[in-house]
Structure 1
């Protein structure tokens, strides 16, 4: 079955300029840009999006747009080839066919909160590595000091520390309330057991999907998976492997619109993921793309105007 597919462009303003830390380099975005795909099957209408994250995705939005415009109708079938599609394009196609078989669930899962003193979430996340290591330590001490006993901290260092700094961190902090440290080291070969729970994110995306996952990854407490950056099918495969090996799994957004965020909440339920998921990002976007199907916001926000640029098939 070949569906009818229309493509729209969108640009959603952040509520305030957002600063990303990419391996110690900072990038500021004022808006989130992407492509919205409207799929019309025989009796069902589905929306998915293509939203590569600048500085993190391997492909650009313009490359995705050009690839979509060049695809044949058969490329929108249920089994797209993983060899010639950009990750975010493949995600949008896979997500449409997935939703055709597994419609969105109607309730949200628990999410980890990006650092917020007033949050009641059991898991709080903080970004590190955008300042000196010494200042990172001071910041982490400050956050740990105001956590409630039931709360734990997730630290995302984006590969900015050395193994010596990681070990110094363990000596400097009371780590009993640290849930895990995500991607702290620049080099995968430098990881060794030091008692701190570790999570892998970027390193998982860099794995060759045709080769076995190296054993170092099974020493982690948690795998963090970003479907927009690695594709939906690959995300599901890694989540199932993590379950088999007793590793917790967290779906993480890449600051997509409510269209993808709602899908991630539903997907987390389908995959029976019990951890607080990394999906607390919609509050940073000032508008939605479509009326909400799953209530993720306390209040309704305006819808962004989308410009149709093509009918793909």
Structure 2
């Protein structure tokens, strides 16, 4: 088929299927101040044809929701549940079957994870991520597990490759004294490191100011969501001049970019925000105002992390994404990251299939 014929012949969806996965974690992962010990989600698969050419793609759709390790509802992240997403996709697949692949972009949904998943499937089927290999670069995630001694964190920092110059550190998890001690201990081991701090709205304004006043500003790239009340972020900046970033605030359905004093970066979690087109518009607007945009994981499995890594090279090529979250996963999903076990579709529960 010639290039002209390919352009005039639509790519038609000929088979769609939905599988469900559950992966256990070796150690609890932080979700704000909560912890999870399992990751649940869906895989949406598609086969499509364009004339005599056939294409196949898989995407992970895993809203960050459900229950934590204390059986409490996870709050502050995905606004939809996995059950709602599954129900919507089961209803959508028969409507999408035998339609042009562009119907994936036209499908109306209020769920961010569905919008992202459908747009990602469209991009994969059209080969838009094919020339972008997974980036070997990521910003290591440093956090202190429950009841873990500081010495254990120190060992992980000491083990960092010398080519790593930036790490993400979870804060607002313990007492202020311990938080400050953690930062100084990290920098005592690696004074060359730049720190991306993530408070997940864990500090009051007073606590945020006290914390920031006790750590070296020259080593801090920014602190994500420093204050329980986001309206206090500018006051925090005027008090200590520590740059801050937005993360959870972007998840609000009515969020609109607004440049504010001290705003340094947007931490973009595609699974929580929506379609690739929406991400592109937000990134363009932020960059026009000199605000960095950094793609970050929502604790996806390896299939989702691979896609985020490739997408980051397209949308934010000058930034290192925050996708260092696979260490705790016991198994990979469809795409191997090097673990001993990698789940394939045949290993998963088939929810629905149409062809």
TM bracket (short chain): 0.7 to 0.9
Task: Give secondary structure in 2 for the equivalent of 1:71.
Answer: helix
Residue among 23, 39, 45 paired with 1:12 = 23
Q: Deviations over 1:52-77 (max 9, x none)?
A: 11222111111111111122544571
Measure how far apart 1:190 and its partner are.
1.3
Measure how far apart 1:123 and its partner are.
1.1
Counterpart Cα distance in 2 of 1:2 and 1:44 = 9
In structure 1, the residue matched to 2:140 is: 113
Measure how far apart 1:111 and its partner are.
0.8
Match runs of 1:291-302 below 5 Å: 291-292=335-336, 297=337, 299-302=338-341
Q: Does 1:196 align with 2:242?
A: yes
In structure 1, the residue matched to 2:60 is: 49
Measure how far apart 1:34 and its partner are.
0.6
**Structure 1 residues 229 and 170: alpha-carbon distance in aligned structure 2, compared to 1, 3 A threshold:** same
In structure 1, the residue matched to 2:37 is: 30
In structure 2, the residue matched to 1:155 is: 197
Whether the 8 Å CA contact 2:257–2:282 is kept in 1: the answer is no
Measure how far apart 1:109 and its partner are.
4.8
Match runs of 1:213-292 below 5 Å: 213-216=257-260, 219-233=262-276, 234-292=278-336
Measure how far apart 1:19 and its partner are.
4.1
Measure how far apart 1:252 and its partner are.
0.5
For structure 2, list consecutive stretches of 5 or more residues without a partner in the other structure. Answer: 1-11, 66-73, 143-155
Counterpart Cα distance in 1 of 2:105 and 2:29 = 36
Counterpart Cα distance in 1 of 2:226 and 2:263 = 12
Whether the 8 Å CA contact 2:226–2:233 is kept in 1: the answer is no
Q: Deviations over 1:121-167 (max 9, x none)?
A: 22111111222223222222222222242x21111001011222222
Q: Deviations over 1:240-287 (max 9, x none)?
A: 222222211111101111111111111111124322210111222121
Counterpart Cα distance in 1 of 2:208 and 2:316 = 32
Q: Does 1:69 align with 2:113?
A: no
Residue among 171, 183, 195 paired with 1:140 = 183
Measure how far apart 1:7 and its partner are.
0.5
In structure 2, the residue matched to 1:97 is: 122
Whether the 8 Å CA contact 1:290–1:303 is kept in 2: the answer is yes
**Rg larger in structure:** 2
Measure how far apart 1:33 and its partner are.
0.8
CA-based RMSD of the aligned residues comes to 2.1
